[in-house]
Amino acid sequence: MNLPLHEKIRSEIEADILTGVRTPGSRLPTEHDLMQQYGCSRMTVSKALSALAGGGLIERRKRAGSFVARPKAHSMMLDIPDLEQEIVQRGQRYRFELSERTIVPPGTPQAREAGLAEEGELLMIAGVHLADDVPLACELRLVSLAAVPEMAAQPFDDDSPGAWLLKHVPWTEAETRIASVAASTGVAAQLKLSVGAPCLFVERRTWRGSEGITQVRQHFVGSAYSLVARFGPAKRAPGS
Amino acid sequence: MNLPLHEKIRSEIEADILTGVRTPGSRLPTEHDLMQQYGCSRMTVSKALSALAGGGLIERRKRAGSFVARPKAHSMMLDIPDLEQEIVQRGQRYRFELSERTIVPPGTPQAREAGLAEEGELLMIAGVHLADDVPLACELRLVSLAAVPEMAAQPFDDDSPGAWLLKHVPWTEAETRIASVAASTGVAAQLKLSVGAPCLFVERRTWRGSEGITQVRQHFVGSAYSLVARFGPAKRAPGS
DNA sequence: TCGTCAATTATGTCTATACATTATCGGCGA
DNA sequence: TCGCCGATAATGTATAGACATAATTGACGA
């Protein structure tokens, strides 16, 4: 491994922390010490320490020094894949079946609840995602036409509105709620399940700045779908 | 806002990307151009671009230049709350009720399935998390005693093993799978639900380096619990 | 026409230096 | 004893220059 020096310094200190050689709260050598230890300039050491600080492994305080961070309240990265991609990757055929497409006038309770634009019209789209013609998930989506006027012209007979939005509309904030619910009669009918069957329920809202773009509620067939979240060195095969 | 220059450059370019001024795949100005544009040295520009690359927003290629990255799958930050904290924060009383505590010898199918140490013994802990004495979730946990020998001495009559592990054992990698399942007879009994009721199922494994530490399977009462994932500067009050 | 190779160009790493910023420490005075 | 305050020691930011590295481009030759 021919790592650049700052990477080498970073990884050595990281290893010390992860293996417990350096314990949370303890102080690291100063940049000046490390610079002598590795025989390099302060900038190089600083780069290594900054990277560690960026990763949350250490905390740097002026005048005081650098300290191993205490284990934080942790969060993980949740991949939100495009359903079409995911299904195709499984070797199945993807299809989106549009079941409803309406314009919702502003001011209705439905529009208000979605937390989207108070003023403009909303486009409501309902449909089912099918893998080899078997329902995998159904969704009910509201899109602010004020934020995405082009949306009104899209047909979505076959293409999913989620994929289209992902490609064409940039967003800056999103929030996803994940729960487990029993299939209602409506959902059960769409997913060809029995009423009361467990469904993974995902509700997502996205914004650009403070402007709401879309809200979507999806019910996944519980037995056929799961989400995965990760923390740490991404996409590493277990055991390498 | 008195940001340092490299932060200012970073955030301006970031804004351009998020608002769609710079579209995925398009090329950014070269470091040399930006250096003239901002009237600073190349190191400063480079630092800003490196930060963006680290965040996955742009991709840098030697000789070719820097490009706005195409997002393959959106990832969001999933908060993994400590159940005790969460329940107390709701204004309820937290209790962990231990229902089983066994040493699992190495080599059993159970141990193998968990993907933990092949060699050492495992500690198996089962119990229920209660909020005001109402079951919220049940869990079945396996801990590698080779990785965490101190665990054997802990009682866990009242304290949850998850909270203890979080505080005392550092980890470097974790994977969480989230699904919706129907309550089995065993789970239903523990959670005081009817068989078949929807449960949010969470399975998490953690490692330190390549050494497996623990695996836990939790079933949450579907009607009482949900997870939230976020992207962006949010922390938005629902309805603001 | 097509493949090869070298020149070019943009990023990657590193140094030595300078000055800014800020929390801590220790001393001085009330 | 206590509080204020300046000296100090650490990190934070930035510069200008040097050389390394790698991929694209284009020119040259078969």
Average pLDDT taken over every residue of chain B: 86
Residue whose Cα is closest to the C1' of D12: A62
Looking at residue A41, which CATH number applies to its domain?
1.10.10.10
pLDDT at residue A93 greater than cutoff 50: yes
pLDDT at residue B126 greater than cutoff 80: yes
Does A121 share its domain with A197? Answer: yes
Neighbours of A187 (CB within 10 A): 22
Exposed e or buried b for every residue in A89-127, given b needs 16+ CB within 10 A? eeeeebbbbbeebeebebeeeebeebbbbeeebbbbbbb
Q: Is A10 exposed, middle or buried (0-12, 13-18, 19+ CB in 10 A)?
A: buried
Give the pair of three-digit tokens for residue A93. 């055929």
Is the Cβ–Cβ distance between A95 and A66 less than 8 Å? no
Domain span holding position A154:
77-229
Does B158 share its domain with B219? Answer: yes
Does A45 share its domain with A153? Answer: no
pLDDT at residue B136 greater than cutoff 80: yes
Interchain contact, A80 vs B76, CB within 8 Å: yes
For the four alpha carbons of A161, A163, A167 and A171, in that order, the dihedral sign comes to positive
Contacts of A2 (CB under 8 A, 6+ apart): none
The string of pLDDT tens digits covering residues A60-73 is 999 889 999 876 55
Q: How confident is the model at residue A235 (pLDDT cuts 50, 70, 90)?
A: very low
Of B77, B78, B198, the CB nearest to A181: B198
Residues of B in contact with A240 (CB under 8 A): 210
Mutate to test the interface with B, among A21, A72, A78 (most CBs of B within 10 A): A78
pLDDT at residue B14 greater than cutoff 50: yes
In this predicted model, which residue has the larger pLDDT, A169 or B143?
B143
Residues of A in contact with B71 (CB under 8 A): 166
Does A22 share its domain with A105? Answer: no
Beta-carbon pairs below 8 A across chains A and B: 177
Residue ending a domain, choose from A13, A46, A68: A68
pLDDT at residue B179 greater than cutoff 60: yes
Does B204 share its domain with B171? Answer: yes
Contacts of A108 (CB under 8 A, 6+ apart): none
In this predicted model, which residue has the larger pLDDT, B80 or B229?
B229
* Residue B64 Cβ under 7 A from any strand C atom: yes
Q: Is A8 left (phi over 0), alpha (psi -120 to 50) or beta?
A: alpha
Which nucleotide has the shortest C1'-to-CA distance from A45? C14
How many domains is chain B partitioned into structurally? 2
- Hey, is the C-beta of A231 within 8 angstroms of any chain B C-beta? yes
Residue B87's identity, in one-letter code, is: I
Residue B109: its H or E element: helix B109-114
Strand D footprint at Cβ < 7 Å? A 28, 30-32, 42-43, 46, 49-50, 53, 60-66; B 4-7, 39-44, 61-64
Which nucleotide has the shortest C1'-to-CA distance from A4? C13
In this predicted model, which residue has the larger pLDDT, B187 or B231?
B187
The string of pLDDT tens digits covering residues B100-116 is 999 988 878 777 776 67
Q: How confident is the model at residue B172 (pLDDT cuts 50, 70, 90)?
A: confident
Does B96 share its domain with B168? Answer: yes
A42-54 vs A5-18: helix crossing angle, rounded to 10: 50
Interchain contact, A77 vs B78, CB within 8 Å: yes
Contacts of B220 (CB under 8 A, 6+ apart): A180, B136, B137, B199, B200, B201, B202
Residue whose Cα is closest to the C1' of C15: A41
Residue ending a domain, choose from B37, B68, B99: B68
Does B177 share its domain with B88? Answer: yes
- What pLDDT is stored for residue B207 in this prediction? 86
The string of pLDDT tens digits covering residues A174-188 is 899 999 999 999 999
Does A141 share its domain with A222? Answer: yes
Q: How confident is the model at residue B3 (pLDDT cuts 50, 70, 90)?
A: confident
Asked if this assembly's ipTM is beyond 0.90, the reply is no
Does B224 share its domain with B115? Answer: yes
* CA gap A78, A74 in Å, rounded: 13
Mean pLDDT over residues B201-224, rounded? Answer: 90
Does B218 share its domain with B140? Answer: yes
- Hey, is the C-beta of A224 within 8 angstroms of any chain B C-beta? no
The string of pLDDT tens digits covering residues B33-71 is 999 999 999 999 999 999 999 888 899 999 889 999 876
Give the rounded percent of residues in chain B with a pLDDT score beyond 90. Answer: 51
pLDDT at residue A192 greater than cutoff 50: yes
Does A52 share its domain with A144? Answer: no
- Hey, is the C-beta of A234 within 8 angstroms of any chain B C-beta? no
Mean pLDDT over residues B220-231, rounded? Answer: 91
Q: How confident is the model at residue A106 (pLDDT cuts 50, 70, 90)?
A: confident
- Hey, is the C-beta of B52 within 8 angstroms of any chain A C-beta? no
Residue ending a domain, choose from A50, A68, A86: A68
Neighbours of A225 (CB within 10 A): 21
Is residue A180 a part of any domain in this protein?
yes
Looking at residue A187, which CATH number applies to its domain?
3.40.1410.10
Exposed e or buried b for every residue in B193-222, given b needs 16+ CB within 10 A? beebbbbbbbbbbbbbeeebbbbbbbbbbb
Q: Determine the Cα angle at B54 with ends B2 and B33, to 5°.
A: 65
Mean pLDDT over residues B192-216, rounded? Answer: 91
* CA gap B183, B199 in Å, rounded: 6
In this predicted model, which residue has the larger pLDDT, A136 or A24?
A136
Residues of B in contact with A231 (CB under 8 A): 173-175
Does B147 share its domain with B46? Answer: no
pLDDT at residue B239 greater than cutoff 60: no
Nearest to B130 by CA among B192, B188, B186: B192
Which nucleotide has the shortest C1'-to-CA distance from A46? D11
In this predicted model, which residue has the larger pLDDT, B107 or B232?
B107
Is residue B236 a part of any domain in this protein?
no
Is residue B34 a part of any domain in this protein?
yes
Is residue A156 a part of any domain in this protein?
yes
